Structure 1
Amino acid sequence: MEERDSITGSTMEERAQSLLDTGLGSDCKFVVGDDKNKVIIDASKAFLIRASPVFERMFFSQFQVTEPIEVPDIEPDVFKTMLRFIYGCKWSFESNDQAVKLCYAANKYMIAELLARCEEYLWPNNVENVWTALLVANLYSLEKLRNAAIQIIHDNSYAIVENPDVANITQNCLLTIVKGRILRIHTEVLVFRMCVQWATARCEEKGLAVNGHHLRSELGEILKYIRFLAMEPEEFVLEVVRTGILIAEESLSILSFLVTGGKTPPPFGLCPVKTTRINDYYLEVTYDGYIDAS
């Protein structure tokens, strides 16, 4: 008779880890990772369905999956860490990158407790880690994390808009801070420079010529939340017109509006707000658009 492995450890955490390591009690198999790094991982259905309604539907519904279960969108090490959490083993976060990937796994399998642990680990406390927090908050609708990130951006507005790391954030993160009532700065030129810096980085990543057409294309929806009407005529000409992001008709319309003190109509489709962001308490700002209350 073949001798089976035995469970080792004196604590529940140690014995749970031993279960994972030996595969004892496992009754399902996963093939985890992409084509370059595939790993077969054994697990217990009982542990899995205890933690996740997604696993419950996989194994105990009319839509049962065929084993082994392919998981190409999660890295093996991340999946193993998720299993350590599910089994109740001792584990810890190793990096922000790992936490972001665990967020994806926790969201995919609807493991709310693991997502909460990730949120706690990624909670922002400075300008350096605020972008990761905002990214995860936007992806997985974590409102408290999002509000914490926005508060840091609000309190450190000048450091944010002049930080070169802005070039590496996602379009959704940039849209969040340009669209909302977040930045406390006196001049919209800094916002425009930040957006151009970000769009330039996207053009360079794609091997595109850095010109007005491509910059505008990369900015997309962001462009309509830049407050051109809050600029001074001279800075609009020197900072905006020269980039070629706006078409001639738009530039002429904005410049006419600025030099006449608002006596000519602003261009259609661009931000109608004519007050600076430092004066946002005069405005009712919503995520559906701007209403000038002045």
Structure 2
Amino acid sequence: MEPIIKESNSSTSQTSQSQIKNDRREHTADFFSNCLHFYESSWMYDCTIRVGALQGSQPFKCHKLILSAASGIFYTMFNSQFKEAQLGPDDAILIEDALPEIFNAAMRFVYGRKADFGDEITAARLYQFAHKWQIQSLLEATDLFLREPLPENVAFVYDVFKLLRNEEGLKRCMKVIKMKTPYVIKSPYWENVSLETVMDVLGSNTLSISNECSLLEALVLWGMSRVKTQGGPLSGEEVRKAIDEPLKWIRFLTMDQEKFTSFCLKCSSLEILTAKESMQIFMSLSTKNDTLLPEKFSHNRDWRFSLDMATWVPLPTSLENDYDAPCYLEFSVSADVFFVGFRFLDFHDSNYHFKPDASFELCSESGKICEGTTKKDFDPNLYCCLVKPHALVKDVKYKIFVHYYNLPEDSYSFQVFVSQFVTDENITVSLSQTCSMAGICSLIFWSVP
């Protein structure tokens, strides 16, 4: 029996053959490339997702099977009694709380594993989208992309992680915030972060700031932006209401009097602090009497500094017994930095190692700058860290005088410096001596980014 062959319309047949050829040209051996082609060409779509607010919304032709495989939410939506499961291919499913470009980027990843997130702001928004729609693969990819956010974007990323309770992500972001604080509080996203994020930053014991006033100024800018966003009048009273809670974290007692006065003059038109509060703070700074501070203000005197931020400059030495060398170390630095402290040599005598009892003074040509003792500031790792870092000016000569107590006769701390110039990262230390009895093997510096 002859097979029956039906004749078809010539033009229709040619069109179908052309379409098949086009599809074959796009088809490859790579599964995700093929899936991405299906999405981009809308081939055999069976659902329409309309994304964005109604006026600016945009339709996307998608496939229920692909969406269900990627997302638990879509799986439930398309395999249940929800109305979305009964809709036709062109009946729109609305997603109003996402941006069309974010949805498109999410679909390009879901269909084709294209991680073209662009920047960290986009990646953070994609992370938020993936979290809501339970797209685990996209969630993991964006979290990896946000592993080390840039300082100018980290406030936004931190806010997203805070909202979605990503504890590991918060730790990573806080590390950046601590190391690059000036960039963070001056970034465009700082002014729009949540109150919780502001509280976390101001509540940190470790930040890279040279003066607490920079945090106070950043807090006021945040408060002004918050008032504008809420549509209220931009008055000192409204800004104060906005910042009243995080204001309690500002460490006024660590401020420089001159910078605090400058802040008061800048904000005189808004009156963020009352005249009485400003006077009480100024008197507390002048007299170092924290009982004069306004009620509920922080009494914390600790600088927001950690040795993790410091640069340790080792001074290579050789040891000899010679008690004629001066008992001080004279040096200068090649850049304006903060002096944090120093580390002693490993003291020992003929029988055992020991920690020296000593007092020390940091001096310049104009006189004593600060002082301390090892009894109060000493650490098991044999270093002395000043209570407050002190700013050093480049090319100015400084001296560290060390006075030892109860030093055993057969102990030694004499050192001969191998080189008069020691460079570490961007700091060059110039030594004015060839030898010293100060027993200092490392200088510790800090530079604010």
Q: Tell me which residue corresponds to 1:55.
A: 74
* Distance verdict in 2 for CA 1:165–1:26, change over 3 Å: closer
Q: Does 1:20 align with 2:39?
A: yes
Preserved contact between residue 123 and residue 133 of structure 1 (Cα < 8 Å): no
8 A Cα contact 2:253 2:290, kept in partner: no
Is 2:292 the counterpart of 1:273? no
Matched with 1:170 is: 193
Cα displacement (A) at 1:126: 4.1
Correspondence 1:3-42 to 2 at 5 A: 6=20, 7-8=23-24, 9-10=27-28, 11-42=30-61
CA contact (8 A) 1:135 1:170 kept: yes
Q: 1:73 aligns with which of 97, 100, 113?
A: 97
Alignment-mate amino acid for residue 131 of structure 2: N
Provide closer, same or farther for how the CA distance between residues 154 and 69 of structure 1 changes in structure 2, counting only shifts above 3 A: same
Q: 1:188 to 1:75 in 2, by over 3 A?
A: closer
In structure 2, the partner of 1:246 is 273
Q: C-alpha distance in 1, partners of 2:100/2:213?
A: 46
Does the 8 A contact of 1:33 with 1:73 survive in 2? yes
Partners of 2:169 and 2:149 in 1: CA distance: 11
Q: Is the 8 A contact 2:102 2:122 kept in 1?
A: yes
Alignment of 1:76-115 (within 5 A): 76-88=100-112, 90=114, 92-115=116-139
- Deviations 1:135-167, CA, capped at 9 Å, x for gaps: 332233233332222212222345545x46475
Residues 182/65 of structure 1: CA separation in 2 closer, same or farther (3 Å cut): farther
How far is the alpha carbon of 1:187 from its aligned partner?
3.0
The alpha-carbon distance between structure 1 residues 165 and 86, as it changes in their structure 2 partners (threshold 3 A), is: closer
1 CA distance for matches of 2:151 and 2:63?
Answer: 42
Contact 2:153 2:187 in 1 (8 A): no
Aligned residue number for residue 330 of structure 2 = none
The structural deviation recorded for 1:236 is 4.6
Normalising by structure 2, report the TM-score: 0.52
* Cα distance in 2 for residues equivalent to 1:226 and 1:220: 11
Structure-1 residue corresponding to 2:246 = 222
Q: Give CA-to-partner distance per residue, 1:19-48, whole Å, 9 cap, x none.
A: 223444533332222222333323222222
Distance, in Å, in 1 between the alignment partners of 2:102 and 2:306 is 45
Q: Specify which of 211, 236, 239 is matched with residue 212 of structure 1.
A: 236
Q: 63-72 or 112-121, which moves further after superposition?
A: 63-72
Percent identical residues: 25
Q: CA deviation at 1:192?
A: 1.0
2:193 aligned partner, one-letter code: T
The structure richer in helix per residue is 1
1:186–1:277 CA contact under 8 A, matched in 2: no
Q: Write out per-residue CA displacement over residues 239-273 of structure 1, whole angstroms, 9 at most, x where no aligned residue.
A: 34845223456556555655564463754443342
Q: Which has the larger share of strand?
A: 2
Tell me, in whole angstroms, the C-alpha distance in 2 between the residues paired with 1:122 and 1:176.
19
Shift of 1:73: 1.7
- Secondary structure of the 1:101 match is helix
CA–CA separation in structure 1 for the residues paired with 2:44 and 2:221? 54
Q: Is the 8 A contact 2:42 2:61 kept in 1?
A: yes
Q: More displaced, 102-111 or 214-223?
A: 214-223
Q: Output the CA distance in 1 between the equivalents of 2:202 and 2:70.
A: 39
Q: 1:126 to 1:108 in 2, by over 3 A?
A: closer
Instruction: Pick closer, same or farther for the CA change 1:56–1:215 going to 2, 3 Å.
Output: same
Residues 222, 58 of structure 1: alpha-carbon distance in 2 compared, 3 angstrom cutoff: same
- Identify which range, 17-26 or 174-183, moves more after superposition: 17-26
Shift of 1:127: 2.6
Match runs of 1:195-210 below 5 Å: 195-202=219-226
What is the aligned residue count?
280
SS at match of 1:264: helix
SS at match of 1:113: helix
280 and 138 in structure 1: CA distance in 2 versus 1, 3 angstrom threshold? farther
Residue 134 (structure 1) aligns with: 158
CA distance in 1, matches of 2:94, 2:112: 24
Distance 1:90 1:207 in 2: 40
Contact 2:252 2:298 (C-alpha < 8 Å) held by counterparts: yes
Per-residue deviation at 1:218? 3.2
- Residues 78 and 84 of structure 2 are in contact (CA less than 8 Å); yes or no, is this contact kept in structure 1? yes
Shift of 1:203: 5.1
* Gapped regions of structure 1 (runs ≥ 5): 282-294
